[in-house]
Structure 1
Amino acid sequence: MSKIPGYPKTARAALVVFEAPNPIPSVITLQYNPDKMQRDVKASAIEGGARSDAFRLTGAPVETIKMEVWFDATDKLAEGDPFTIANGIYPQLASLEMLLAPSSAVVVANSIMLAAGTIEILPASAPFLILVWGKRVLPVRMAGLSVGEEAFDVNLNPIRAKVGLDFTVLTYSDLEQSHPGYAMYLGHQIVKEQMGRATRAGTVASILSQKLSTN
């Protein structure tokens, strides 16, 4: 389908993945932007405290994000793309699933250390994950995913699937000050504060003027 001249190009939602020790990130671009995003934001407040603590906040709000994304190999198969013909959309699904699992190299290394008598083995670290959605660039942790594979090729490779993604936003309350996600979240909050203040300008005056005009 030809593009309309002068029509702005739609931004693509993506996940940027930093996996130590590699300093160069990889990018998982969502094939189609989700139609909707479910965000749940809860205050970090003092529960059951003194009356003087009624408005106190203990840190950044706790935010979770849910979305459903689609992957479809139809166009690539029609173009005769050899990689898609051989694998379908299995590589795209695998790239998301591996965000929830320690790498096989870490598993093997830990097994060797245990066999050698190492007393303490540190749990594997998940990759540093960034959700890019328009103006929102957020450090997140993938909390889980659900995969509905809906069509397959002759080799039973999935060629169409709906994936539900669950994220927990990581804030300055979760990260060390030296972590890049700490400053990233603060920057995100500053942008929200500026946008929020812009909508508040004149609000009280307009409400008062409306009330006086009705009396």
Structure 2
Amino acid sequence: MTTYADIPKPIRSGIVIVDPERGTPQRIIVLQFNPDTLERSVSPQAAGGEGGGGGGDSGGDRNEALRLKGPAQETWKFTAEIDATDQLDVAAPDGIHPQLAVLEMLVQPTTAQLRAASKLSKKGTIEISPIEMPLTLFTWGSKRVMPVRLTELSVNESAFDVNLNPIRASLSIGMKILTVSDLPAGHRGAELYLAHLAQKEQLARRARAGSLAQLGLGGGI
């Protein structure tokens, strides 16, 4: 007889905030529910330009047609759900405000960083460097661990408690995978991207190869 204890718990997807210098996790955000679907877009960085529809005027160097400038640009989109009513055993005096706030702070500088920048401005500093955020990793199982930058965070709050604290929300999250083209050489994020790409290369080698005969090209090409 199968019991609930025999059923393996699914691995959760989530976000890990990492100190880029030490490589130590600063915060781990586990998504309450794994998204039902993922939308991924992979765009190659062609060296010769995208080209036109045909003919000789393609807008790019023909000698560069098969060359790549770097790794492909990849974006992910998914919808995440947060529901306090699904965790009645967990006290939630603020509703899901904390869970929403921790995600929103991924794209917000802290008040301390803003005050520090303001002080530099008042001192007459001519050039103030943009505020550097911690390294953000998105994890989708052990085979997908990659550095990302959030590009979209849209929140639809659909239920509230008596104090108007949100208790249920749907979040549309978009992110860009950061590659060695986006990060400086030696950066921990760049090394993590290379590890992610190496994992993908290993998986590609496991795919079963087809044959020309299956394509109706038994005589060769």
Which TM-score band applies after superposition, normalised by the shorter structure? 0.7 to 0.9
| Distance in 1 between residues matched to 2:181 and 2:204, nearest whole Å | 22
Do residues 166 (structure 1) and 174 (structure 2) align?
yes
Deviations 1:65-91 (A, max 9, x none): 001000000133x33x43x1x100010
Q: 1:104 to 1:198 in 2, by over 3 A?
A: same
Indicate the larger mover: 136-145 or 48-57.
Answer: 48-57
SS at structure 2 position matched to 1:189: helix
Whether the 8 Å contact between 1:12 and 1:30 is mirrored in structure 2 is yes
Letter in 1 for 2:196: H
Give the match for residue 50 of structure 1: 61
Letter in 1 for 2:175: F
Give the match for residue 13 of structure 2: 13
Whether the 8 Å contact between 2:21 and 2:188 is mirrored in structure 1 is no
Whether the 8 Å contact between 2:20 and 2:187 is mirrored in structure 1 is no
Letter in 2 for 1:101: Q
Percent sequence identity over aligned pairs: 43
Deviation at 1:170, TM superposition (A): 0.3
Give the match for residue 124 of structure 1: 131
Q: Tell me the matched-pair count.
A: 205
Whether the 8 Å contact between 2:38 and 2:78 is mirrored in structure 1 is yes
Q: Which one of the candidate residues 73, 77, 81 is aligned to 1:70?
A: 81
Give the match for residue 56 of structure 2: none
Deviations 1:42-79 (A, max 9, x none): 11002132211111111000001001000000133x33
Deviations 1:181-209 (A, max 9, x none): 112111111111121122143x126627x
Whether the 8 Å contact between 1:100 and 1:144 is mirrored in structure 2 is no
Give the match for residue 195 of structure 2: 187
Give the match for residue 35 of structure 1: 36
| Distance in 2 between residues matched to 1:52 and 1:21, nearest whole Å | 41
- Structure 2 regions of 5+ residues with no counterpart? 50-58
CA-based RMSD of the aligned residues comes to: 2.1
Q: 1:29 to 1:44 in 2, by over 3 A?
A: same
Letter in 1 for 2:168: R
**Larger relative helix fraction:** 1
SS at structure 2 position matched to 1:69: strand
SS at structure 2 position matched to 1:44: strand
Whether the 8 Å contact between 2:20 and 2:188 is mirrored in structure 1 is no
Whether the 8 Å contact between 2:18 and 2:26 is mirrored in structure 1 is yes
Deviation at 1:115, TM superposition (A): 1.3
SS at structure 2 position matched to 1:119: coil
